[in-house]
Amino acid sequence: MSNASLSPLPPADRPDVTARLRDALLGASFTADGLLELLGAPAYAALSRSETVPALRATRGDTPLERLVRLFLLQQPVPHARVADVLPVDACLESGWLVRAGDDEVAATVDVRPYGGPGGEDWFIVSDLGCAVGGAGGIGNHAEGVVLGVGGASMTLAGLTVRTPVSAALDLGTGSGIQALHASRHATRVTATDVNPRALHITALTLALSGAQDADLREGSLYEPVRDDETYDLIVSNPPFVISPGARLTYRDGGMAGDDLCRSLVQETGEKLNEGGFAHFLANWQHVEGEDWTDRLRSWVPRGCDAWIVQREVQDITQYAELWLRDAGDHRADPAEYQARYDAWLDEFEARKVKAVGFGWITLRRTAAAEPSVTVEEWPHPVEQPLGETVRAHFDRVDYLRTHDDAALLEANFTLAGEVVQEQVGLPGAEDPEHVVLRQNRGMRRATRVDTVGAGFAGVCDGTMSAGRILDAIAQLVGEDPVALRDRTPAQIRLLVEQGFIEPA
């Protein structure tokens, strides 16, 4: 299906109408908080799963907010007279936000979903019809140029992005403009690119309806629209990372073989980052037979960049194919067509000797260090979003550790990080635990095993004594040679700092 199947979009150059529409939406409490209060948590959550029945049941009344939810989120026609006392309906009809449906009803041409900004802002994410409530597959929209709204991936990326004031930010593959909208809060200048011109149009609508600053919108794939002399302090991308046969759906399929799109995106980023600048990506990568997946990802990191790569999930090739076939609604198609598409995915994976696909986060930071730090790890466990401050702190610790050798660590003072607890595991009644675990209740929520010396050391860290003096005291307490203890403990201290259990005072 082509773009011809998609609804015409409202013009992006009518600030008068957009401002009036925004005021009307806010006046009716059509906000993230208002939506949650009206629908309740279960119905609100069901929308993200493409399930609209609970929300339809919750909007059977006739309040202004209920009418707007049915109109803009649930794609239900609403009587013209019932909309006229809530919205500037004639202006919305003239400018294309609404169209007439039947004799006396109006319908929305786009999804508009309330979205709460991190600073309490009332934002609105515009997307194609049906795509604010769970994705293209949820409403059977197979249009090639469809633009999705708020999803779990886009919210994950927004949450892990470092939010410090910057001069210039770049959003590659902007989609409905969610990342550009977030960047507008702390970047003087925002550039957003997309290969799909419809996405750029929708991004302009999202920014305008949210009352945010305009972005420099450019059409093209990845870095193609970026001039050679342009660099940025922040680069973010939720790219079309799905590893698929062909490029059927613009919003998800990159059109390159295997994971080449994600690899190219990461490798080309180094020369576009300013010193100290961050780049954040969501990505998929192949697990290839006979190849270490961590080595594969290390080879992607550009020269002059520190990197922190976290694999959050791994799926075998059948699970992966089924996930994205369902995403596109192919499971609702003719069984023979579904089987043919499924076969095509498996043929592609077998030809490339792919046994599984990983999903996760890639963060780069431009550095002048002689030996950049590259950390590749697997962490499938729950984390606390937003993670932006956790990500920034990780790279601060990288800087600290590479400028402090073991002797310097022993001279330094440390404090225990907030909300770290100790767990002891062992048989009931045993005099000593089998092992001790330190666990974080914030950020990455890591857990690490330590020996009794490591646990005792962490517990005493309050910033008043150097690490060496603490170890001397522990050695005297347990009857161990202090020199030997000083020799063997810095590696454990380094690990505790690296993972954020203790912090330089």
Q: For residues 44 and 40, what is the distance between their CA atoms, to the nearest angstrom?
A: 6
Alpha-carbon Rg of the chain, whole angstroms? 26
What pLDDT score was predicted for residue 132?
64
What separation in angstroms does the CA of 280 have from each of 94, 233, 242, 263, 475?
40, 11, 17, 13, 44
The residue with tokens 């592609």 is 348
One-letter amino acid at 429 equals G
Residues 6+ apart with CB under 8 A from 163: 118, 182, 185, 186, 388
End-to-end CA distance of the chain: 60
Q: Which candidate, 215, 21, 214, 29, places its Cα nearest to that of 122?
A: 29
One-letter amino acid at 241 equals F
State pTM to two decimals: 0.94
- The DSSP-derived string for 320-388 is HHHHHHHHTTGGGS-HHHHHHHHHHHHHHHHHTTEEEEEEEEEEEEE---SS--EEEEE--S---S--H
Residue 101: half-sphere exposure toward Cβ, Cα within 13 Å: 17
User: In the 8-state DSSP scheme, what is residue 242?
Assistant: B
54 within 8 A of 69, measured Cβ to Cβ? no
Report the relative pairing of strands 232-237 and 166-172 from DSSP bridges. Answer: parallel
53 within 8 A of 76, measured Cβ to Cβ? no
* pLDDT tens digits, 281-326: 999 999 999 999 999 999 999 999 999 999 999 999 999 999 999 8
One-letter amino acid at 316 equals D
SS3 482: helix
385 within 8 A of 361, measured Cβ to Cβ? no
Counting every residue written for the chain, the total comes to: 505
For the four alpha carbons of 192, 249, 49 and 386, in that order, the dihedral sign comes to: negative
User: In the 8-state DSSP scheme, what is residue 69?
Assistant: I
Residues 6+ apart with CB under 8 A from 103: none
Q: Is 437 exposed, middle or buried (0-12, 13-18, 19+ CB in 10 A)?
A: middle
Q: For residues 48 and 480, what is the distance between their CA atoms, to the nearest angstrom?
A: 58
134, two tokens: 């769970």
For the four alpha carbons of 498, 486, 372 and 357, in that order, the dihedral sign comes to: negative
Regions of the chain short of the pLDDT cut 70: 1-4, 132-143
What pLDDT score was predicted for residue 133?
59
Residues 6+ apart with CB under 8 A from 488: none
What separation in angstroms does the CA of 470 have from each of 140, 158, 454, 463, 498?
63, 40, 11, 11, 19
Q: Is 75 exposed, middle or buried (0-12, 13-18, 19+ CB in 10 A)?
A: middle
What pLDDT score was predicted for residue 1?
33
88, two tokens: 């500037």
What pLDDT score was predicted for residue 212?
97
Residues 6+ apart with CB under 8 A from 388: 159, 160, 161, 162, 163
